[in-house]
Amino acid sequence: MGRKLLTEHINVEGIDTFEVYRKHGGYRSVEKALKTMTPDEVVEEVKKSGLRGRGGAGFPTGLKWSFLAKPEGVPRHLVCNADESEPGTFKDRHLMSKLPHLLIEGMITSSYALGANTSYIYIRGELLYVLRILEKAISEAYANGFLGKNILGSGYDLDLHVHPGGGAYICGEETALLESLEGKRGNPRNKPPFPAVQGLYARPTVVNNVESIAAVVPIVNDGGDEYAKLGVGKSTGTKLFSACGHLNKPGIYEIELGVPVEEFIYSDEYCGGIWKGRELKAVVAGGSSVPILPKELILKTAAGENRLMTYESLSDGGFVTGTMLGSGGFIAMDETTCIVRNTWSFSRFYHHESCGQCSPCREGTGWMEKVLHRLEHGHGHMEDIDLLVSVAKQIEGNTICPLGEAAAWPVAAAVRHFRDEFEWHVTHAKEAARPGAVYPSKAVLA
Amino acid sequence: MPLNLTDMESTNAPAKPQFSAAAQDEIKRIITHYPADRKKSALLPVLHIAQAEFGGWVSPEVQTLVAETLDLKPIEVYEVATFYTMFNLKPVGKHVLEICRTGPCMLRGSDELTAHLERLTGAKVGGETSPDGLFTLKEVECLAACGFAPIVQVREKYYEQLDTPENVDAMLTELRNMVHRPILPWEALAQN
């Protein structure tokens, strides 16, 4: 098993307490940053590390930090995005509930780098029990002088608060999250202005994912160059993958970026292969919004190279034959999975979660769900298949926030790679509509 | 999500609700997290407190109370309470079972789980509470615990791997035997 930078001590008893966490080297990055580094030096290390946003977009964290406006006399904020809601993704919940102090340590070090004196962790409302864990850990950090006024005698002040959402996927989008933190409906904002200029309370704000902020801890401890030595090319460091679906060992795995997809799925070190001795049919590799790939294309690229767990390798081939690393929500589907049903389920999700601001998304997600529902339930027409692609295309690029794309991509990709199965749902409508119906595959049909 | 006016009608007209002293202290603590002129930021956390305090749902009267508590217009609370799925706008049973129905849970049997729970409790998803008043069933979207699917959330607890009858029975037994909902941190604080 490769090196673990975040989860090395996750199974140590009592690691959720300040005392045990500290004994295992916790809060060293705060000491190092506040006592020996300027804020800009911390930003520089994060830039050198090559860390890319772990929430899904993969934007370089150091670069995002360097965009933060610093007008004189205006407070700035760091907001942690803990609104983990992308179907297939459950790494942040794990990290926060087991290692609350790691996130708090990352928040302190990162807030110092950004010059923020009040920071927030916005956690999805369903995770109120994790909010309790974080609040307890935060009060321990205050009691031990790592939060509050004049931290470690450095003159730096920081208050840290946890804020619950109310149940809305859209609040994972950073401007919707800020609206929600201000006590409003989670409607994404038009950009510009970007949060780096006008974010929370119209003040300059950085919003980062839980895992990104946690990664700042080893980056500051060991230096950005050391971090960048791990991984492959521009996919540096380690990443948490949430593995779910039809796997023998679903769960959360921290891996050094670059492990072959085949090894991740089949090795006993990781997911241990497909359950019930079945064959793999398809994988959604980075959370429900990224394109689904059939077995052949997830294991190897179109050029026949081994597909690796990196940003570049997973997106090799663009959307024609590739996908995206996204949030690392890895959903495996066995040979009995109905792709139409699965796509319908995802469409229902996006329709349910569309905030309703932009017509293409509000109406389009509804139409996709409706058309997929009738295909799955035996009332579809051949034209419906192209209709789906057409609706998906009309949503894409025509909305304020990326929920539109997130809804369109999985539908377009399912039709792209599994058109024959969609057609079978029309030609064999009755058979396909039976509960538990299994598409017999092209080979058998021929 | 359109505002359903019938949802806003109260079934009975109770006396004006009041937060307990413990909840009031908790609300005061939460308000300090935000700038003095940004009290509205406390709206979601306070709605969660209200739902826990007043029987698992937020009636129009309770929403008005929340508005008064945070110096907001009632509409500012209504528009938020109706946007977020966690706030129940109608009376619910003693336990609200929130069953995840999204892809990863569906792959591991959430449809079967839902049907099973309807049979065992006598409640209908999105509809009537069980005749004994104990259970309301609600289908929800991804709860971010896909590796432990299928999942049900009840208040602040996740019940995981509900793909075996034993695990489902254990959950229902625990809930049936629960006299009071689990005590919340600010309530524990007030008791000490």
Instruction: Kindly list the residues from chain B whose CB atom is less than 8 angstroms away from the CB atom of residue A124.
Output: 144
Q: A206 near A174, Cβ under 8 Å?
A: no
d(CA A388, CA A399): 18
Q: Do B80 and A127 touch (CB under 8 A)?
A: no
A247 three-state secondary structure: strand
d(CA A178, CA A163): 11
Q: Do B102 and A86 touch (CB under 8 A)?
A: no
Record: fold of A339-445: de novo design (two linked rop proteins) (1.20.1440)
In this model, does residue B14 exceed pLDDT 80?
Answer: no
Tokens encoding A137: 């850990």
Average pLDDT over residues A253-266: 98
Q: Do B107 and A246 touch (CB under 8 A)?
A: yes
Domains and CATH numbers, chain B: 20-81 (1.10.10), 95-176 (3.40.30.10)
Instruction: Kindly list the residues from chain B whose CB atom is less than 8 angstroms away from the CB atom of residue A147.
Output: none
Identify the pLDDT of residue B3: 47
In this model, does residue B166 exceed pLDDT 50?
Answer: yes
pLDDT digits (tens, 9 = 90+) for A305-355: 999 999 999 999 999 999 999 999 999 999 999 999 999 999 999 999 999
What integer best gives the mean pLDDT of chain B? 93
A121 three-state secondary structure: strand
Of A129, A166, A244, the CB nearest to B84: A166
Nearest chain A residue to B185, by CA: A132
In this model, does residue A444 exceed pLDDT 80?
Answer: no
In this model, does residue A1 exceed pLDDT 70?
Answer: no
Nearest chain A residue to B67, by CA: A183
Instruction: Kindly list the residues from chain B whose CB atom is less than 8 angstroms away from the CB atom of residue A353.
Output: 141
Nearest chain A residue to B40, by CA: A183
What region, left, alpha or beta, does residue A236 occupy, with left being phi > 0 and alpha being psi -120 to 50 degrees?
A: beta
**Residue B190's pLDDT band (boundaries 50, 70, 90)?**
confident
Name the residue ranges covered by the structural domains of chain A: 18-229, 232-334, 339-445
Record: fold of A18-229: Rossmann fold (3.40.50)
Identify the pLDDT of residue B2: 46
Specify the CATH architecture of the domain A232-334: Roll (3.10)
pLDDT digits (tens, 9 = 90+) for A44-98: 999 999 999 999 999 999 999 999 999 999 999 999 999 999 999 999 999 999 9
Of A120, A183, A251, the CB nearest to B42: A183
**Residue A384's pLDDT band (boundaries 50, 70, 90)?**
very high
Instruction: Kindly list the residues from chain A whose CB atom is less than 8 angstroms away from the CB atom of residue B144.
Output: 84-85, 89-90, 92-93, 124, 126-127
DSSP-derived letter for residue B146 is G
Identify the pLDDT of residue A443: 53
pLDDT digits (tens, 9 = 90+) for A182-211: 999 999 999 999 999 999 999 999 999 999
- CA distance readout (Å), A107 to A74, A110, A117, A163, A214: 20, 5, 11, 14, 8
**Residue A435's pLDDT band (boundaries 50, 70, 90)?**
confident
Of B79, B140, B144, the CB nearest to A89: B144
Identify the pLDDT of residue B127: 81
Return the beta strands (E) in chain B as ranges.
Answer: 95-100, 135-140, 152-154, 157-159
d(CA A256, CA A1): 9
- How many Cβ pairs within 8 Å bridge chains A and B? 149
**Residue B13's pLDDT band (boundaries 50, 70, 90)?**
low
pLDDT digits (tens, 9 = 90+) for A9-32: 999 999 999 999 999 999 999 999
Identify the pLDDT of residue B34: 98
DSSP H stretches of helix in A117-196: 128-143, 174-181
Return the beta strands (E) in A264-413 as ranges.
Answer: 280-284, 293-294, 329-334
Instruction: Kindly list the residues from chain A whose CB atom is less than 8 angstroms away from the CB atom of residue B86.
Output: 125-126, 166-167
Average pLDDT over residues B70-97: 97
**Residue A436's pLDDT band (boundaries 50, 70, 90)?**
confident
Q: Do A161 and B43 touch (CB under 8 A)?
A: no
Tokens encoding A47: 């830039």
ipTM of the complex: 0.95
Q: How far is B85 from chain A (nearest CA, A)?
A: 5
In this model, does residue B16 exceed pLDDT 80?
Answer: yes
pLDDT digits (tens, 9 = 90+) for B84-139: 999 999 999 999 999 999 999 999 999 999 999 999 999 999 889 999 999 999 99
Average pLDDT over residues B64-90: 98
Q: Do A166 and B47 touch (CB under 8 A)?
A: yes
Q: How far is B24 from chain A (nearest CA, A)?
A: 17
The pairing of beta strand A293-294 with beta strand B95-100: unpaired
